[in-house]
Structure 1
Amino acid sequence: MEKIVPKPIRKAVFPVAGLGTRFLPATKAVPKEMLTVVDRPVIQYAADEARAAGIETLIFVTGRNKGVIEDHFDMAFELESTLKQRNKGATLEQLEKELPDAGQAVFTRQQAPLGLGHAVWCARDIVGDDPFAVLLPDMLMTGEPGALKQMVDVYNETGGNIVSLSECDPDEAHKYGIVSKGEEFGTHFEINGMVEKPKPGTAPSNYYINGRYILDGSIMKLLGTQAAGAGGEIQLTDSMLTLMETQKFYGTPFKGEAFDCGSKLGFLEANIALGLRNKELGDDLRGKLAQRLGDRRAKVRVPD
C-alpha cells in the first residue's frame, strides 16, 4: 500500500497582539515581541525558525500599537542607503538575509484580547483549509535543527496534528499545559489528552506544551464556534481537545533549550545564554559575569 504524503506545511501564524503587561513600563510604547535578546528582537528568532522549517507565508496577528513589527519586516530604504554609503556591507547583507520575500509576511488584526484561540482564528481566511503552524514568539527555542523543523520531520512521517513538548519537574507540572502520553514511536508519541494547569499531584505526565503547534486547518471552524473557556477567553486547547476526538495528535519532545521570554527571568536567562554563545561577545561576557559573581562571593561573610 502506497504511503499517503501529508500536505506540506507552508503557513505559520504568529500571535503578537498581547499587551506585554508583565514588562511594563518597557512595553508601554514598544511591543514585547520587539524586545531584544542580544542583538535581535524576540519575534525575529521565531520568524527565522519558521523559515528554516520551510514556511513560506508568515502570518502575524497583531493589535493596536504593533505597527513597528510590520516595519521590522519591511525594507528600510534610508537605513540601507546609509549602510551602503558607510561600507557596512556585512550588516546590510545580514538585514537583507532576514527580510522576508515580497508578499511573504502577512498582517491581520485581533481587535480585542479574546484569547489565543481567537488570535489564531483571526488568521482563518489566510490559512484556509491548509494545515499550518503556530509559533508563540514568547518562547525562544534554540536547537539544531530548530523546533519547528523537528516537528515538520515528524509531521511528514505521521501526518495529523503535532505539538512540541518540553519536560518539567513533576512538582512544577501544575504551572503548565500538560499532555497525556499514548503509544510511543521512538522520537514521538501519541497524545490522548491535555489538561491546563492540573492540580498538584494529578498531572498525567511531566511533558508540557512549549508554544509550537502544527494543526489541521479544520480547527478554524471549531475556534469560530468555541465558547469562552478559562479566563473568559477562547482557548486554543479547548478546540484541540475537540479535534482530538476525530484526529490524531502527536507530541515530539524538543531537542534543545526553550526560554520563556514572556517572563522577566526567562528573558534575562535567554540574553545570558545566547550572549555567552555569541562569537563576538561570548568571551567578554563570560569574563564580566565571572567578575560580578566573584565580587558578590567576596562580599559574603564566611562564618567562623
Structure 2
Amino acid sequence: MTPVAATEKAPAQQPAPAKGAGPLLRAWREQRRISQLELALRADSSARHISFVETGRSRPSEEFLLRIADHLDVPVRERNALLLAAGYAPRFPETPLDELGTLREGLEQLLQGYEPYPALIVDATYNVIAANRGIAMLLDGLSEDLLTSPLNAMRLTLHPRGLAPRIRNLAEWRGHLLHQMERQIALFRSDALRELYEEVAAYPVDDPGESAAGSSPTAYVALPLQIEHDGRTLSFISSISTFNTPMDVTVAELAIETLLPADPATVKYLQSLLP
C-alpha cells in the first residue's frame, strides 16, 4: 500500500469507448498494442475478419468474441460488456460473496489459518472483503473514520491518519502501491479505480529522508513493508494471489494479500502472540 507526491502525473485518461462490440474490441486490441494480424494469428482467425468486426461490417459470433477476449486478456466483467454490445446475453454471473458458500468458507479458513501473520482479501477497488486478526493488530489505533465500512486498503495504508506515519520506508512502499494501481488502470477500464488513485496520490507526504529499507542491515529478497508497532519495527513481504480461470465476475475481482514476515525478529514477535 503506497503514496506518490501530489504533483505526480496520473496515468493518461482512456478515451470513452464508442458503442458496439467492434469499437470495444478495437479499443482493447489497441490498449494491448496488438495488431490485427498478430491477433488473428493468435486466435486462429484472419486480419480481414477482425477488421470487419471492428468496423461493424460483420457481426461476430459469441464464440468468436470470447476467444478474442481471451487472447486480449479482457477482464471477465468487460467480457460481459462485449457480449452485451454484440446483442448476446452476459456469460459470466456476478454472485454476491455471501452466496458463494463453500468458497467463502474456504477463504475465511485460509485467513484464519495464516494467523498470526496478517492476511486480507480485497476487491477490484481495494475494498476489504475480509481480514484476519493479524491485520486487525496492525490497524489498532487508527482514526475511526478510516475504520468505517467499507474499509479500503489503499486509504488505510496511505492516508496521513492511517498507517502512513507508521511506515518507516513510506516513500518506497507508497511508490510501489501507486505503480501497482497504475498497472491495473492500464489493464482495466475502471473509473472507480482511477478516482481512488487520484485521491490517494494527492495525500500529503512528509519528506521521507533516508530510506529505512536501504539502511537496514537485513538483506531482503523483495521490497519489505517496514511498519512500527508497539515500539518495534515489523517487516513484511507482500504476496498477492488471484483465482485461475474465473467464471464469475465477483471471483475474478478478488485478490488475497498475505504478509510474510521478512526477518527473524518479526517472526518471533508474531509467534509470541499465539495463545
Q: What TM-score do you get using the length of structure 2 for normalisation?
A: 0.26
Higher relative contact order (CA 8 A, sep 6+): 2
Task: Identify the structure with the greater helix proportion.
Answer: 2
- Structure number with higher strand proportion: 1
